[in-house]
Amino acid sequence: MSHRSLTHAEAVTRAAVVRKLSYELDVDLTGGSETFTSITTLRFSAQEGASTFVEVRPQRLVSVTLNDAILDATVVDGRIELSGLSGDNTVVVAAEFAYSHSSEGMHRFVDPADGEVYVYAQPSITDAPRFMACFDQPDLKAPVTLLVTANPSWTIRANEECVQEKPGRWRFHPTKPIATYLITLVAGPLVEIRDEHDGISLGVLARKSYSEVLERDAPEIFEVTKACFDRFHELFGIRYQFGKYDQAFVPEFSWGAMEFPGCVVFRDEYLFRATVTDTERLERAAVIAHEMAHMWFGDLVTMRWWDDLWLNESFATYMGYRLVSEVTRWPQSWTRFGVNRKVWGYAADQRPSTHPVAPTKVSDTDDAINNFDGISYAKGCSALRQLVTWIGDDAFFGGLRKYFDKHAWGNATLADLLGALSESSGRDIDAWAHLWLRTPQVNTLRPEISFSEPGVFESVTVHQSAPESYPVLRPHRIGISWLTPSGEWASTEAEVSGEVTPVPQLAGVAGRGLLLNSGDYTFAKVRLDDQTRADLVDLLARQPDTLSRALMWNAAFDAVRDAEWPADEFVDLVGAALSGETDVTLLDSVFQLARTVAVPRLLPMTTYQRALDSLAATAASIVEVAPASSGRQLAGARNLVSSTSQAPMLRGWLAGIGVPQGLVVDSDLRWSILCRLAVLGEIGHEQIDAELQRDTSARGRQEATRARASLPDAAAKATAFDILMNEKGLSNRIVEYAGYGLWQPEHAELTSSYVERFFTELPISQGRSPDLMALIGHAGYPVFAVSQDTLDLAERTLAGDLHPQLRRSLMDETDDLRRALRAREGARSA
């Protein structure tokens, strides 16, 4: 059912009407495979005679009563109008709702491995009305009493503890006051492992077919969870407030995870059914810590409106990576952030869709959804790192404790937080916030170096610039490092402000390989001087610090992305330096930048195969020198599979022939091999079907979809395009994987006719959900069709009428297309 986006003005008006709110939500999951029912009872106070509205988006409205009077109500734009309110009101809405297959509202999943059914609620920021009637805005927090009727053999988990009143009937204790976007339930024949730490009951849950995986991964998940709880309690000075702490890993979840208090939900790709590297384990730990941080940032203290989304996501990202570096087995977490998440933030902040970390206005919920991006997460996190560097840990956490104490169980704004931090630090945080949080776009820092003699700095100056459209220069406290003649790395600090900042302490210092922003404490693009650029292979080999190496790689990639360096240079750098990289996180991240961006998009297609062969050779050398059974070997093998054109080697690995000692060709690696063989035209549907019989899981179905779409076959491409553009009722994952398989650089001629069709047929997809349309905009975009014709088609489409989420995804991909065109023009081998 269509609905109207809630505006900020409407939310303010309704918040002035509704007081003393509580919910009782009675959900019946026994009705069938397409729909379920719920009865929502809303109790609230209001001024006599006032009016407001409640949001609900049912398949069928059964009944509505207001203070025991039956209303002749209809749903218009996802709303039911309520008029003639009393001082105390009871509204009861009974409705039948449709299950979702796109992880919005109430998602239903049938596990192909065993036929078992699973259901979970994902209200996102606008989808609670897809399973209940509510006042769907963050500042109307309320206790929620949940009742569930379901298959008696199922396990049901939600925000609070429950009692099973009788077989098939569960009643949950009332929650503390929470916003509607934090309500969830998870249901099905779940397997569960429980533990306890510091008085907190801990649980991890997954579907039955993942029982062995859960049993294997649960100890590490509990280890991270316990360590993070201890550190959060120490830093925040206020204990976790939501009773139990369940972590449920569910199928087809659209986000990485969601911070439902008492029952955090994760996509079950974070349960590792196959061998993984430290990169995946670190990322899982960071997500666990991120969601746990939300128990304070977002759940205990909630933003008043979506303009303060950063109060949730920036803080959770910062605390997540910080805690992983401090209390887990992955101290290199900031390295991963710097070469992965921060690259995402830099890209987002330079696009036409850029916005401040904390915008002064978010007009409606459609606008709010578009702010879940690299700015709210990565840039905001980096801004907080810069703030902590400026005011220090004691002032930072002292301010946070004041903030939690004052606003617990309520709502807060940027001004509330700044007031607490200003009080604790004695500094003017408002001025800092204006420059860092209220203005968009990113600064660039460039060193200017003169030498008194070879290898001796005469003077070093840092030049700061900003785009003409956003001419804001920010203050930066940065580290500066260099390689000394003795082979050691030295560093100093500098306060950068304005256009030009001298660094007098470096005058007369002997060294080379100057690196700005060592420690990565600010959010700014960094350029390398000419000598450092020329010596980069040697400098990477001599730098023992993984974060510093990440900064060097970032500087090189960003210069290529901005068309200041030719893309060939980055590919050559990968070939010369990456095979010696020992940190798996860095190796993985850099190779993916080369494999997914630099080679297929930034280089002319005339050099694609040569560059791809170079990447394959680099990956092969990594496999050759890596210790058997190591994460480095696995990372090299994955990258070799994705880039090689040697079909006999790939077929041999599938058959167990020529496999490097210690490498396990498990289900995930087998699918990667099959997808690459499909691209090369070396297999057909028969081999894909056979592999699907070996792996009957949901992941197997997704990978089979991608493999079929990857075939250089006209019928296969037609099917993939149809799934992407026209099929309804398929899961979000199937649609996503069809898009990933459809477009291949090797198949440019075969898919050329679909480029125009993608843009001209997109409006037909507007009956789909917002999240799914955004997914289609990204996964279905013809990213390898880098041409002016494609750009013209994209701009013509963007000039038309599009849903905000679809427009945002197309706008971002089109900006990347423009950059790719500029990079190709500057390639050395063009």
Sign of the CA dihedral running 422, 424, 426, 432: negative
**pLDDT category of residue 176 using cuts at 50, 70 and 90:** very high
Which amino acid does the sequence have at 444? Answer: T
Q: Tell me how far apart the alpha carbons of residues 117 and 122 are, in angstroms, rounded to a whole number.
A: 16
> Is the per-residue pLDDT at 444 higher than 80?
yes
**pLDDT category of residue 63 using cuts at 50, 70 and 90:** very high
**pLDDT category of residue 189 using cuts at 50, 70 and 90:** very high
**pLDDT category of residue 803 using cuts at 50, 70 and 90:** confident
Rg, C-alpha atoms of the chain: 27
Least confident of 82-96, 195-209, 483-497, 717-731: 717-731
Q: Tell me how far apart the alpha carbons of residues 182 and 60 are, in angstroms, rounded to a whole number.
A: 24
Q: Tell me how far apart the alpha carbons of residues 481 and 555 are, in angstroms, rounded to a whole number.
A: 14
Which 8-state DSSP code applies to residue 627?
A: P
> Is the per-residue pLDDT at 755 higher than 50?
yes
Contact between 522 and 382 (Cβ < 8 Å): yes
**pLDDT category of residue 769 using cuts at 50, 70 and 90:** confident
Please report the pLDDT score of residue 443 as a whole number.
Answer: 98
Cβ contacts of 543 within 8 Å, gap of 6 or more: 483, 489, 513, 549, 552
Tokens linked to 548: 């510093």
Please report the pLDDT score of residue 830 as a whole number.
Answer: 44
Strand order in the sheet with 263-267: 191-197, 200-206, 245-250, 263-267, 257-258
Same fold across 1-189 and 208-441: no
Q: Tell me how far apart the alpha carbons of residues 795 and 352 are, in angstroms, rounded to a whole number.
A: 13
Please report the pLDDT score of residue 194 as a whole number.
Answer: 98
Parse the chain into domains and list their residue ranges: 1-189, 208-441, 443-522+527-565
Number of H helices, E strands in the chain: 29, 28
Angle between helix 429-437 and helix 380-391 axes, rounded to 10 deg = 150
Span 421-441, pLDDT tens digits: 999 999 989 999 999 999 999
Q: Tell me how far apart the alpha carbons of residues 216 and 331 are, in angstroms, rounded to a whole number.
A: 23
Burial of 153 (0-12, 13-18, 19+ CB in 10 A): exposed
- Spot the catalytic one: 252, 259, 291, 746: 291
Span 110-167, pLDDT tens digits: 999 999 999 999 999 999 999 999 999 999 999 999 999 999 999 999 999 999 999 9
Please report the pLDDT score of residue 544 as a whole number.
Answer: 97
In this prediction the pTM is 0.97
Which 8-state DSSP code applies to residue 40?
A: E
- 291 catalytic per annotation: yes
> Is the per-residue pLDDT at 546 higher than 90?
yes
Q: Tell me how far apart the alpha carbons of residues 83 and 87 are, in angstroms, rounded to a whole number.
A: 12
Locus of tokens 């990639």: 557
**What is the average pLDDT across 627-656?**
98
CB atoms within 10 A of CB 826: 16
Which 8-state DSSP code applies to residue 498?
A: S
Q: Tell me how far apart the alpha carbons of residues 588 and 582 are, in angstroms, rounded to a whole number.
A: 11
Burial of 830 (0-12, 13-18, 19+ CB in 10 A): middle
Beta bridge partners of 169: 149, 166
Q: Are strands 19-28 and 35-45 parallel, antiparallel or unpaired?
A: antiparallel
**What is the average pLDDT across 652-672?**
97
Q: Tell me how far apart the alpha carbons of residues 587 and 325 are, in angstroms, rounded to a whole number.
A: 18
The topology under which CATH files domain 208-441 is: Neutral Protease; domain 2 (1.10.390)
Q: Tell me how far apart the alpha carbons of residues 318 and 301 are, in angstroms, rounded to a whole number.
A: 17
Query: What percent of the chain shows pLDDT beyond 70?
Result: 99
Which amino acid does the sequence have at 578? Answer: L
Beta bridge partners of 97: 36
CATH number of 1-189: 2.60.40.1730
Please report the pLDDT score of residue 259 as a whole number.
Answer: 98
**What is the average pLDDT across 524-544?**
97
